């Protein structure tokens, strides 16, 4: 059964300190002030770049990843549901075709994205004692 944007919301909003807002008119999930997942319909320019190929159908979700190495690993792990487009070249995020992703893979990707975006706890400060080196 395909995943839905409602399920994305349930999974994402179950993670700690998540808020929902909008960016560019599309629902976006944040932890702190960082977006980690957002609705990402194709623009006219995106569709034009597909040329003769048919763009993936259904709702599309963008999910942040740690870096470009993690992006390549994610894309290789689930090529049926995870993909990218030229607009995302050099950008640490993947696209997810919700009609093709399993709920488990979606949950794992959202959890990893949340970990990437969450604010790090402050480092404890240590005081040096007088006379210590």
pLDDT value of position 131: 61
pLDDT value of position 80: 94
What CATH number was assigned to the domain covering residues 5-117?
Answer: 3.90.1150.30
pLDDT-derived band at 132, boundaries 50, 70, 90: low
The partner residues of 60 in beta bridges, in order of sequence, read: 97
pLDDT-derived band at 74, boundaries 50, 70, 90: very high
24: its two tokens: 């560019």
pLDDT value of position 126: 65
pLDDT-derived band at 28, boundaries 50, 70, 90: very high
The residue with greater pLDDT, 122 or 84, is 84
Task: Note the pTM of the prediction, 2 decimals.
Answer: 0.86
pLDDT value of position 128: 64
Mean pLDDT of 16-44: 94
- Helix H segments across the chain? 5-13, 44-49, 68-77, 103-117
């Amino acid at each position: 059964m395909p995943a839905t944007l409602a399920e994305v919301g349930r999974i994402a909003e179950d993670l700690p300190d998540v808020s929902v807002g909008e960016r560019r008119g599309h629902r976006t999930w944040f932890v702190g002030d960082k977006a980690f997942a957002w609705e990402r319909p194709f623009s006219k320019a995106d569709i034009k770049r597909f040329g003769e190929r048919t763009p993936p159908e259904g709702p599309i979700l963008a999910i942040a990843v740690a870096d470009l190495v993690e992006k390549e690993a994610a894309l290789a792990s689930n090529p049926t549901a995870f993909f990218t487009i030229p607009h995302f070249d050099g950008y640490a995020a993947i696209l997810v075709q919700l009609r093709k992703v399993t709920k488990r893979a979606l949950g794992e990707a959202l959890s990893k994205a949340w970990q990437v975006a969450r604010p790090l706890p402050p480092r404890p400060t240590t005081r040096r004692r007088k006379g210590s080196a």
